[in-house]
């Protein structure tokens, strides 16, 4: 077998000839030898192991949709010529096809030949499978005397349980303590990226491994507190980080990207188990925000640690005394404008919304999508949860509208008072005219205004109405109905719809 040094000399000679002559035959021969070299070097060159202890720095960029970019820089001792490097302490959910290894010390004198991700991890079952057809030791203890005896056995199979062959018999199950002579080379106790490379010169090099992985994710969580008289709010936001990638990342330079990045979904080959999480809130300054292409980048000002199976929160933004207004909205449907309905809705629910603008001190920055949870103090000064809603990515000065739930003290009864089909059939050229009465009842101690919103289908025309409407968009109208305290009000209208 040719040694690793012999391969290196031959490859160097072929490359020099190819660079001088640009000979296609030389190029083909070089490619063939590179392929052979990766397999031959694996058996002839001692494996170098790099762990997280070699780490010089690590930077992590987490995106919204369970995707993370990791850049891991390590000081690694490399020989001149052929090297076989086991890069341990990588994410168990690494997308190995995205891994890129660069030599920052000598980039022009470094050539990657092959890389493999070993995810055949060490477990008792895997260890037994690797020893099928091989000998192990079986140690038994006499329960009466406490004396241990040892026998040699061959592992025949592990299918549906272990079967062992001794000198004079075959046994099933695990008859005692099993002792293995060593660790199989193709079985790893941790996720490992195995790399074959050519390098020059010999010495300590700064190597940067970058790759995409799943298992690390983040989301924005918002907490809103309303003041006593319901006209201003305080808002705090946290970036909630979750790590179930299979490893811990120490002293990480952390970036978060907000935005919807297009991805080709990978095929999943590794099934992940459900994991238990610990929670931690980081005591850090707010994240710094900047634009990144068409997205937004948030950077943690200080290094942090992302422990395995941990959820951590870091401060994203904070703002106080933000003006807001409250809305009561009754939302209809379009199905009853083309048929007779009796009744439509009795004691219908009225939704309560709050609205504020992303502007003012502490706001006015792009807000990542997330869940906003709203609280308000009761008469005893205790904060009580009153609802939540999801917001999409919101630019500066955007209006943010939150639906908190159904109001208890305002109800609505909706009836259809008339229905006629003026022309056509149900399938073609239909013209329908229908009339409605909506009765709003207000049990609150103060007067209010209810916004009645009706989606109107087809070509529509309001024939008559007790209050003027506003056309919000092509198929949506709104009436603002004032209702006195402890009283009721009626909205009456007639509409013609053409399909």
Collapsing DSSP to helix, strand or coil, 362 comes out as: coil
For 161: left if phi > 0, alpha if psi spans -120 to 50, otherwise beta; the answer is left
- Residue 52, SS3? helix
The pTM for the full model equals: 0.70
Place of tokens 């509208």: 401
CB atoms within 10 A of CB 218: 26
Sheet (strand 310-323) strand order: 278-281, 310-323, 232-243, 216-226, 370-377, 383-391
pLDDT of residue 287: 61
Q: How far is CA 20 from CA 17, 115, 272, 377, 404, in A?
A: 5, 29, 51, 80, 73
Options 1.20.120, 2.60.40, 2.60.120, 1.10.20; CATH for 327-351+406-498 is 2.60.40
| Location of structure tokens 């070509």 | 459
**Three-class SS string for 285-330?**
CCCEEEEECCEEEEECCCCEEECCCEEEEEEEEEEEEEECEEEEEE
Of 391, 389, 387, the C-alpha closest to 406 is 387
Diameter of the chain measured on Cα atoms: 102
Which pLDDT value is given to residue 275? 34
Angle CA(186)–CA(188)–CA(193) in degrees, nearest 5? Answer: 90
Q: 3-class DSSP state for residue 122?
A: coil
Give the separation between CA 40 and CA 3, rounded to whole angstroms. Answer: 8
* Residues 241 and 311 sit within 8 Å (Cβ to Cβ): yes
- CA 165 vs CA 136, 153, 154, 170, 171: distances in Å: 10, 5, 5, 4, 6
Q: With contact defined as beta carbons under 8 Å apart, do 96 and 193 qualify?
A: yes
> CA-CA distances (angstroms) from residue 493 to 56, 98, 435, 490, 498?
73, 62, 6, 10, 17
Distance CA 342, CA 405 (A): 27
DSSP-derived secondary structure for 481-494 = EEE-TTEEEEEEEE
| DSSP 8-state assignment for residue 337 | G
Cα end-to-end distance, the chain, whole Å: 83
Do 459 and 498 touch, CB atoms closer than 8 A? yes
Distance, in Å, from the CA atom of 257 to the CA atom of 368, rounded to the nearest integer, reads 9
d(CA 36, CA 114): 11
Query: Which residues are within 8 A (CB) of 146 and not within 5 positions of it... i.e. 6 or more apart?
Result: none
Contact 332, 450 (CB under 8 A): no
Going from N- to C-terminal start, the domains of the chain cover 124-179, 327-351+406-498
pLDDT tens across the length of the chain (499 residues) = 444 444 444 555 545 554 555 555 554 445 445 544 445 544 568 889 999 999 999 999 999 888 999 999 999 999 999 999 999 999 989 998 899 999 999 998 989 898 888 766 678 888 888 899 999 999 999 888 889 999 999 999 998 889 999 999 999 987 789 999 988 877 777 888 989 999 989 999 999 999 999 999 999 999 999 988 778 999 999 999 999 998 899 999 999 998 777 777 655 544 333 333 344 544 444 566 666 666 778 888 889 999 999 999 988 889 999 999 999 999 999 989 988 987 777 778 899 999 999 998 889 888 899 999 999 988 888 999 999 999 998 888 999 999 999 998 999 999 999 999 998 876 678 999 999 999 999 999 999 999 999 999 999 999 999 999 999 999 999 999 999 999 999 999 999 999 8
Position of tokens 């207000």?
442
CA angle 232, 234, 240 (to 5 degrees): 150
Identify which of 233, 213, 212 has the alpha carbon closest to the alpha carbon of residue 308.
213
Helices (H) and strands (E) in the chain, counts: 3, 32
Which is it for the CA torsion 477, 483, 486, 490, positive or negative?
negative
């Amino acid at each position: 077998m040719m040694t690793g040094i012999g391969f290196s000399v031959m490859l160097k000679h072929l490359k020099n000839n190819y660079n001088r002559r640009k000979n296609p035959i030389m190029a083909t021969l070089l490619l063939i030898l590179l392929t052979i070299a990766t397999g031959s070097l694996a058996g002839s060159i001692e494996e170098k192991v790099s762990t997280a202890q070699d780490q010089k720095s690590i930077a992590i960029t987490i995106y919204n949709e369970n995707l993370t970019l990791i850049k891991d820089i390590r000081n690694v001792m490399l020989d001149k010529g052929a090297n076989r490097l086991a890069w341990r302490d990588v994410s168990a959910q690494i997308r190995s096809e995205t891994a890129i290894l660069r030599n920052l010390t000598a980039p022009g004198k470094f050539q990657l030949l092959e890389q493999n991700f070993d995810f055949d991890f060490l477990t008792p079952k895997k260890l037994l499978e690797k020893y099928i057809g091989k000998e192990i030791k079986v140690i038994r203890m006499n329960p009466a005397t406490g004396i241990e005896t040892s026998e040699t056995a061959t592992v025949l199979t592990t299918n549906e349980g272990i079967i062992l062959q001794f000198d004079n018999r075959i046994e099933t199950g695990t008859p005692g303590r099993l002792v293995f002579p060593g660790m199989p080379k193709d079985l790893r106790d941790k996720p490992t990226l195995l790399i074959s490379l050519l390098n020059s010169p010999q010495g300590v090099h700064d190597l940067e491994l970058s790759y995409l992985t799943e298992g690390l994710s983040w989301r924005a969580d918002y907490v809103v507190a309303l003041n006593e008289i319901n006209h201003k709010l305080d808002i705090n936001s946290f970036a909630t980080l979750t790590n179930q990638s299979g490893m811990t990342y120490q002293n990480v330079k952390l970036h978060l990207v907000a935005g919807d990045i297009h991805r080709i979904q990978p095929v999943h080959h590794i099934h992940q188990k459900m994991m238990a999480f610990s929670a931690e809130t980081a005591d850090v300054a707010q994240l710094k925000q900047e634009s990144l292409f068409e997205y937004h980048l948030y950077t943690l000002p200080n290094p942090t640690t992302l422990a395995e199976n941990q959820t951590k929160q870091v401060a994203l933004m904070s703002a106080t005394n933000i003006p807001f207004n409250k809305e009561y909205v009754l939302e209809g449907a379009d199905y009853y404008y083309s048929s007779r309905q009796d009744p439509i809705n009795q004691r219908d629910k009225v939704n309560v919304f709050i609205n504020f603008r992303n502007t003012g001190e502490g706001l006015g920055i792009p807000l990542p999508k997330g869940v906003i949870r709203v609280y308000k103090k009761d008469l005893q000064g205790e904060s009580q949860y009153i609802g939540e809603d999801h917001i999409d990515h919101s630019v500066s000065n955007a209006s943010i509208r939150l639906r908190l739930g159904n109001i208890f003290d305002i109800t609505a009864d909706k009836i259809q008072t008339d229905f006629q089909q003026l022309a056509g059939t149900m399938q073609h050229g239909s013209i329908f005219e229908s009339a409605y009465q909506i009765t709003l009842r207000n049990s609150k101690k103060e007067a209010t205004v209810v916004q009645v919103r009706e989606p109107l289908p087809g070509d529509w025309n309001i024939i008559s109405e007790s209050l003027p409407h506003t056309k919000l968009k092509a198929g949506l109208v709104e009436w603002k109905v004032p209702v006195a305290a402890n009283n009721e009000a009626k909205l009456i209208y007639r509409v013609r719809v053409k399909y």
